[in-house]
Structure 1
Amino acid sequence: MFDSRHIKTFHEVVRAGSYSAAARALGYTQPAITQQMKALERSVGTPLFTRVGRRLRLTEAGEALARHADTILDSISAAQAQMNAITRLRSGRVRVCAFPSANATLIPEAMARLAAGHPGVRVELLEGEPPESLGRLVRGECDITLAFTYPGLHEEVPEEVVEVRLLEDQLTVLMPTGHPLARRRAVKLADLAEERWIAGCLRCRANFLHECAEQGFAPDIAFTTDDNLVVQSLVAEGLGVAMMPGLVLSFLCHRKVTGRALDPASRRQVSAYVLREHLRIPATALVLDELRAVAANRVGC
C-alpha cells in the first residue's frame, strides 16, 4: 500500500532530479527525503532509483511509478476535495424512505429548508410502509427511514438503529362533507358503526380494527387501498368513510371531503430511524435536523 506522502515526495524527486533539490522544494532535510524514498522502495519491493555519478536515474519500476504518480496525486487531491465538500455540507447524498403521508407533508417542507441552506446536498426519496421500510434501512437501501407505530404496538428495532421521535400524529375520520356528523368538531367511532369503511395499509388496518373492537363493533370494510388520494376520492363519492392520519388533512384534494378528529383522541407516533454510525455523517445529521425542525411546527397535528 502506497503512502501518499511518499508518492508526493517521489514525484518531486523525479521532477527536481535529486534528493537535495527535492528537499529544498518541499522544505525537508535531505536525510528525510532519503528515508521516505527507502520506505517507498520497501513498499514496492524493488529499487526505484540508481545513481549514475551524482545523478539519479529511474529504474524500470521507478519509470512505471513515475508514469502513474501524476494520476495518483490528482486522484488523491480530487478525493480530498470531495471529502471536504461532504464534511462542509457543500455536497452529499442522503436516501430517505418514508410512508406516503410523510412523503407528501414532512419531506417536502424539510427538503425546501435543506435546499435553501445547503443546495449541494441531494436527497433521493423512496416510499415504503413499516415494518418493511425499517428492513430497507438495515439492508443499506436507504440512510433514513420515516415510520410510524400505534399505541400498544412494540416496534422491534435492531440494536444498531436509533429512533428519533418526530411527532404524534392525531388520527381523523374522513367523511363526505354532507355527512350529518361533519358538523361536529370531533366524532366517536361508535357513532359510525353502521358506515361502510375504507381501510389502508396493514399496520393502519390492524390498529383500526383494534380501535373499533374497543368501541364494541366490527367495521364493514368495503374497500382497501394504500393510496391516500384514492381514499379521498372514494370518500368524496360517498362510498365510505375512513380513519386516516392527521397528516392527510394537509393535502385534502376534494372539497367534498371533511376531516374530523376522533373523540377520544387517538394518535400514532411518527419517528425517523437511522443507523447509529450514520449519525456522524454530516449530510445525514443535517437531514434529521431539518425533519425535527419541520415536525416541531406540527406538534399535535
Structure 2
Amino acid sequence: MFDSRYIKTFHEVVRTGSYTAAARSLGYTQPAVSQQMKALERDVGTALFTRVGRGLRLTEAGQALTRHTGAILDSLAAAQQQIDAIARLRSGRVRVCAFPSAGATILPDAMARMAAEHPGIRVELVESEPPDSLRMVARGECDVTLAFSYPGLRVDVPDELEEFKLLEDPLTVLLPTGHPLARRKAVHLADLAHERWIAGCGRCRANFLHACAEEGFTPDVACTTDDNLVMQSLVAAGVGIAMVPSLVLSFLCHAKVTGRIVEPHTRRQVYAYVLRDHLRIPATSLALDAIVAAAEAKVGC
C-alpha cells in the first residue's frame, strides 16, 4: 500500500525534475523529500530513479508509477472533497425507519427542517413497526428508527442502541360523527363495551385488549387492519369504532369521523433509537436532532 504523501511528493519530483525543486515547491527540506522517495521505493520494492550526472532519470518502474500518479491524486482529491462535504453536511444520506403515524406526522416536519438548513442531505424512509424496526437499526439496516411502547408492553431494546424519548401520545377513540358519545369531550372506555370494534396493528391491538380487560369487558372485534386510512373508512361507514393514538387525528380524512380522548387516560411512549456509534456520523446526528425538535413542536401544539 502506497502512502498518499509519498505519491504526491513523487509526482512533484517528476514534474520539477529534482528533489531540490520539488522540496521548494512543496515547502519541504531537500532531505525530507529524499527520505520520502527512499521510503516509497521500499514500499514498491524497487528503484524509481537513477542518477544521471546531476539529474534524475525514471526507471521502468518509475515510468509505470508516473502513468498512474495523476489518476491516484485525482481520486484522492475527489474522495477528500466528498468526505469534506459529508462532514460539513453539504451532502450525505440518512435512512430513517418509522411506524405509519410517526411517518405521517413527525417526519415531515423533521425533513423540512433538514431541507431548509442542509439541502444536500438525502433521506431514505422505511416503514416498519416495533420490534422489527428496532432489529433493523441494530443490524445497521437504517440509521434512526422511531418506535413506540405501551405501559406494561415495553419492547426489548438491544443494548447497543441509544434511546431518546420523543413524546407521549394519548389514546383516542374514533367515532362516527353521529354517534351519541361524539358530543362528549372525552369518552370512558367502559361506556363502549357493547360496541363493535376495528382493531389495529399487533402491539396496538394487544394494548387495546388489555385496556378493555382492565375495564371488565372483552371487545367485539369486527375486523383488524394495520392501515389507518382503511380504519377511518370503516369507522365512517359504520362498520365499527376504533381506539387509536392521537397522532392519527392529525391526518383524519373523513368528515364523518371524529376523535375523542379515552378515559382512563392511556398514553403510548414514542422514542427514537440509534446505534451509539452512529451518533458520530453527521447526517445521523442531524436527523436525530431534527426529529427531536419536530416531536417537541408536536407536544407544544
Of the structure 1 ranges 41-50 and 200-209, higher mean CA displacement relative to structure 2 is found in 41-50
**Maintained 8 Å contact 1:232/1:254:** yes
Deviation of 1:66 after TM superposition, in Å, equals 1.0
Unaligned runs of 5+ residues in structure 1 are none
TM-score scaled by length of structure 1 = 0.98
Which position in structure 1 is the counterpart of 2:211?
211
**Maintained 8 Å contact 1:167/1:300:** no
**Maintained 8 Å contact 1:168/1:300:** no
**Maintained 8 Å contact 1:105/1:250:** yes
How many angstroms apart in 2 are the aligned matches of 1:28 and 1:71?
23
Deviation of 1:3 after TM superposition, in Å, equals 1.2
Aligned partner letter, 1:17: G
Deviation of 1:112 after TM superposition, in Å, equals 0.8
Deviation of 1:154 after TM superposition, in Å, equals 2.9
Which position in structure 1 is the counterpart of 2:237?
237
Corresponding residue SS for 1:35: helix
Unaligned runs of 5+ residues in structure 2 are none
Aligned partner letter, 2:233: S
Which position in structure 1 is the counterpart of 2:224?
224
Aligned partner letter, 1:267: R
CA gap of 1:130–1:300, structure 2 versus 1, over 3 A, is farther
Deviation of 1:153 after TM superposition, in Å, equals 2.0
How many angstroms apart in 2 are the aligned matches of 1:75 and 1:288?
32
Q: Does 1:174 align with 2:167?
A: no
Which position in structure 1 is the counterpart of 2:11?
11
Q: Does 1:51 align with 2:60?
A: no
How many angstroms apart in 2 are the aligned matches of 1:75 and 1:164?
39
Deviation of 1:300 after TM superposition, in Å, equals 7.6
Deviation of 1:68 after TM superposition, in Å, equals 1.1
TM-score scaled by length of structure 2 = 0.98
Which position in structure 2 is the counterpart of 1:73?
73
**Maintained 8 Å contact 2:196/2:221:** yes
Query: How many equivalent pairs are there?
Result: 301
Corresponding residue SS for 1:299: helix
Which position in structure 1 is the counterpart of 2:285?
285
Q: After the TM superposition, which residues 79-228 of structure 1 pair with which residues of structure 2 at under 5 Å, given as runs?
A: 79-228=79-228
Aligned partner letter, 1:283: A
**Deviation >6 Å, runs of 4+:** none
How many angstroms apart in 2 are the aligned matches of 1:74 and 1:278?
29
Which position in structure 2 is the counterpart of 1:26?
26
**Maintained 8 Å contact 2:48/2:62:** yes
